[in-house]
């Protein structure tokens, strides 16, 4: 599970060799620790003519302790982030404003710095030309993500027109993207819409008082999730199969959470889980469907059991559980459903027809449930991890593993904590305006790009 090459590259001897031979150069990524400032340096904020959010965003960033740099400063500076509000752009000829802002600063971003462009959802644009220009922003951020290097990430945040001050709904997303929590998220387009968002009393405990269910919590990404959510203030209900009971108890004890031993594929699993949550907690604010399995074989060699098990654990069990929890109104308004998909569900993968089908189905679940549940104040999102350093990926043969690790803009695998931090952000009460998204945690992997 350790990336020895990345450790070597970060040593003095490794650095020299990488330079001489032009080898992949995985940077050390800035990751979040409670109490950390959002950025390692000041942010430079620019705006296109007619942009809507620059002012309220500047106010929120300043309140969050971010130093805003003066654009006209004569001494060259290095920035923790470059932000550009492109919501005023309504024609391709106006895209030149992006060049004018980013070109002089292309080498001025600090390692693990952030680039964020704010835009409009193209489907909301009043004219084809405006929609075309807004769609063009994706190409810019995805290229910056590939070009800037040194752990710098780039994202496009599309802000839907909403009633009231949209910067309230934007705040949690900006805080996540600027911070070390989003270390392994790059090249993403995130839609922020009009859902209700409540600002926490303490941004270091954004899940205070929330009851959160995490399935598959005994190890890997699920165990990291339980830790991160508890650190952020949640009461975690950690679930896994009875055979993983000891590891599950260790995770739950470590974070002062509760352990539930249950096989999600058992016919009575949804009702038993619903009864447990109702009697012990009265509700569940956040449901994280993380449990997942692989049973790889090429399709011609795959027996029906492998197909059935993977679809059942990774997809059908999620549907059955959602149905019962929603029917019994155990997920209140302000609740969250977050599913773990995979880039295999976006790109497909040889030997994984069953797995990729299940994970693409998870994306379908988000697309189909999000609009209906928005009316109940419940958001539905998925994360799609790329290559994450776990037991699952440690089993991949060396050459394939090395290719998977390096074929992304950050030239390294992600850590379970990177997926956990992303799910954490989607779970926050402050993230109510984020729904119907599939956010890849893949370091901008080339697969399915
Ligand atoms: P893992 O195998 O380490 O952990 C999965 C957990 O799910 C295990 O503890 C397992 O006991 C539990 N589980 C399996 N079947 C269950 C059932 N029927 N009922 C209850 N619990 C069950 O895997 P991981 O790498 O931590 O992956 C977690 C999720 O992330 C999965 O959905 C996986 O598909 C997804 N994912 C992982 C990667 C990666 O690189 N590791 C990449 C993309 C997606």
What is the domain-level CATH number for residue 141? 3.40.50.720
Flag whether pLDDT at 153 surpasses 90. Answer: yes
Let me know whether 172 and 228 are in one domain.
no
Let me know whether 89 and 223 are in one domain.
no
Residue 216, ligand 1, Cβ within 6 A: yes
Which of 315, 326, 319, 316 is CA-nearest to residue 362? 315
Answer for the pair 108, 69: CB distance below 8 angstroms, yes or no.
no
Q: Is residue 123 part of a domain?
A: yes
CA distance 144 to 184: 15
Of 133, 162, 192, which residue is a domain's last?
192
Let me know whether 308 and 403 are in one domain.
yes
Residue 197 alpha carbon to ligand 1 centre in Å: 30
19-58 pLDDT per residue, tens = 666 667 899 999 999 999 999 999 999 999 999 999 999 9
Residue 218 alpha carbon to ligand 1 centre in Å: 9
Percentage of the chain beyond pLDDT 90 is 85
Pocket probe for ligand 1: among 220, 318, 362, 363, the residue whose CB has the most ligand atoms within 8 Å is: 220
Answer for the pair 37, 190: CB distance below 8 angstroms, yes or no.
no
Residue 270, ligand 1, Cβ within 6 A: no
Flag whether pLDDT at 12 surpasses 80. Answer: no
Beta-bridge mates of residue 85: 47, 118
Which of 414, 428, 389, 445 is CA-nearest to residue 31? 414
Answer for the pair 439, 384: CB distance below 8 angstroms, yes or no.
yes
Residue 314 alpha carbon to ligand 1 centre in Å: 9
Lowest mean pLDDT among 100-114, 158-172, 181-195, 339-353: 158-172
Let me know whether 284 and 346 are in one domain.
yes
Let me know whether 52 and 94 are in one domain.
yes
Let me know whether 304 and 252 are in one domain.
yes
Q: Is residue 338 part of a domain?
A: yes
Residue 9 alpha carbon to ligand 1 centre in Å: 30
Nearest CA residue ID for atom 27, ligand 1: 221
Let me know whether 148 and 265 are in one domain.
no
| Residue 376, Cβ density class (10 Å: 0-12 exposed, 13-18 middle, ≥19 buried) | middle
Q: Is residue 13 part of a domain?
A: no
Let me know whether 231 and 111 are in one domain.
no
Nearest CA residue ID for atom 40, ligand 1: 388
Q: Is residue 41 part of a domain?
A: yes
Beta-bridge mates of residue 445: 408
Q: Which atom of ligand 1 is nearest to the CA of 359?
A: 34
Residue 222, ligand 1, Cβ within 6 A: yes
Answer for the pair 442, 343: CB distance below 8 angstroms, yes or no.
yes
Residue 423 alpha carbon to ligand 1 centre in Å: 15
Flag whether pLDDT at 14 surpasses 70. Answer: no
Q: What is the pLDDT of residue 17?
A: 65
Let me know whether 52 and 124 are in one domain.
yes
Helix, strand or coil, per DSSP, at residue 271: helix
Number of domains the chain contains: 2
Q: What share of the chain is helix, strand, coil (3-state, %, to 5)?
A: 45, 15, 40
Residue 405, ligand 1, Cβ within 6 A: no
Q: Which atom of ligand 1 is nearest to the CA of 343?
A: 43
Of 124, 158, 192, which residue is a domain's last?
192
Residue 393, ligand 1, Cβ within 6 A: yes
Let me know whether 130 and 263 are in one domain.
no
Let me know whether 188 and 236 are in one domain.
no
Q: What is the torsional sign of CA 355, 358, 362, 367?
A: positive
Q: Which domain holds residue 98?
A: 31-192
Answer for the pair 130, 90: CB distance below 8 angstroms, yes or no.
yes
Q: Is residue 8 part of a domain?
A: no
Residue 358, ligand 1, Cβ within 6 A: no
Both tokens of 359, joined, read 């994970």
- Describe the strand order of the beta sheet including 43-47 as a list of residue ranges: 43-47, 79-85, 109-119, 153-159, 188-192
79 among known catalytic residues: no
CA distance 7 to 241: 35
Q: Is residue 448 part of a domain?
A: no
Residue 417 alpha carbon to ligand 1 centre in Å: 14
Residue 273, ligand 1, Cβ within 6 A: no
Q: Which atom of ligand 1 is nearest to the CA of 312?
A: 18
Flag whether pLDDT at 2 surpasses 80. Answer: no
Residue 388, ligand 1, Cβ within 6 A: yes
Residue 171 alpha carbon to ligand 1 centre in Å: 31
Residue 372 alpha carbon to ligand 1 centre in Å: 28
Flag whether pLDDT at 144 surpasses 80. Answer: yes
Pocket probe for ligand 1: among 215, 216, 403, the residue whose CB has the most ligand atoms within 8 Å is: 216
Q: Is residue 446 part of a domain?
A: no
Lowest mean pLDDT among 90-94, 225-229, 236-240, 391-395: 391-395
Residue 417, ligand 1, Cβ within 6 A: no
- Describe the strand order of the beta sheet including 235-240 as a list of residue ranges: 258-261, 235-240, 211-215, 286-289, 336-340, 379-385, 438-441
CA distance 176 to 211: 21
Q: What is the pLDDT of residue 20?
A: 66
- Indicate the average pLDDT of the chain: 94
Q: Is residue 399 part of a domain?
A: yes
Flag whether pLDDT at 196 surpasses 80. Answer: no
Q: What is the pLDDT of residue 124?
A: 95
Both tokens of 132, joined, read 């075309």
Answer for the pair 181, 422: CB distance below 8 angstroms, yes or no.
yes
Flag whether pLDDT at 159 surpasses 90. Answer: yes
Both tokens of 366, joined, read 């988000």
Where do we find the tokens 């600027």? 178
Let me know whether 110 and 233 are in one domain.
no
CA distance 406 to 412: 5
Of 129, 164, 192, which residue is a domain's last?
192
Q: What is the pLDDT of residue 399?
A: 86
Of 5, 79, 184, 355, which is the active-site residue? 355
The arithmetic mean of pLDDT across residues 431-442, rounded, is: 96
Both tokens of 179, joined, read 């911070």
């Amino acid at each position: 599970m350790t990336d020895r090459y990345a450790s070597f590259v970060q040593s003095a001897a490794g650095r020299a060799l990488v330079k001489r031979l032009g080898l992949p150069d995985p940077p050390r990524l800035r990751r979040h620790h409670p109490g950390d400032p959002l950025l390692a340096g000041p942010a430079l904020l620019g705006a296109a003519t007619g942009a809507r959010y620059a002012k309220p965003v500047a106010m929120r960033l300043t309140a969050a302790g971010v130093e805003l740099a003066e654009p006209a400063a004569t001494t060259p500076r290095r920035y923790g982030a470059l932000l550009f509000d492109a919501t005023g752009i309504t024609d391709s000829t106006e895209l030149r404003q992006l060049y004018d802002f980013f070109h002089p600063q292309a080498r001025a971003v600090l390692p693990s710095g952030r680039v964020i462009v704010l835009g409009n959802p193209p489907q909301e644009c009043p004219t084809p030309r405006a929609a075309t220009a807004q769609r063009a922003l994706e190409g810019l951020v995805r290229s910056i993500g590939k070009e800037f290097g040194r752990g710098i990430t780039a994202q496009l945040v599309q802000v839907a027109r909403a009633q009231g001050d949209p910067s309230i709904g934007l705040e949690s997303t900006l805080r996540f993207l600027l911070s070390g929590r989003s270390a392994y998220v790059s090249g993403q387009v995130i839609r922020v819409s009009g859902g209700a968002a409540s600002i926490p009393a303490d941004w270091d405990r954004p899940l205070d008082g929330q009851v959160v269910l995490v399935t598959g919590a005994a190890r890997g990404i699920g165990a990291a999730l339980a830790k991160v959510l508890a650190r952020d203030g949640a009461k975690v209900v950690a679930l896994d199969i009875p055979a993983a009971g000891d590891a599950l108890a260790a995770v739950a004890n470590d974070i002062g959470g509760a352990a539930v031993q249950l096989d999600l594929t058992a016919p009575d699993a949804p009702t038993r889980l619903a009864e447990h949550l109702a009697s012990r907690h009265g509700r569940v604010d956040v449901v994280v469907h993380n449990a997942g399995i692989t049973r790889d074989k090429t399709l011609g060699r795959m027996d029906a059991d492998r197909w059935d098990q993977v679809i059942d654990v990774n997809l059908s069990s999620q549907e059955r559980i959602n149905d019962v929890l929603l029917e019994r109104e155990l997920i209140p308004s302000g609740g969250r459903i977050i599913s773990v998909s995979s880039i295999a569900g976006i790109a497909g993968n040889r030997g994984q027809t069953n797995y990729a089908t299940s994970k693409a189905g998870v994306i379908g679940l988000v697309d189909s449930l999000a609009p209906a549940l928005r009316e109940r104040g419940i958001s539905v999102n998925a994360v799609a991890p790329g290559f994450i350093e776990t037991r699952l990926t440690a089993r991949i043969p060396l050459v394939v593993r090395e290719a998977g690790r390096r074929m992304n803009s950050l030239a390294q695998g992600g850590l379970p904590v990177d997926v956990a931090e992303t799910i954490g952000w989607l779970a926050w009460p402050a993230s109510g305006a984020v729904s119907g998204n599939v956010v890849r945690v893949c370091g901008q992997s080339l697969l399915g790009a």
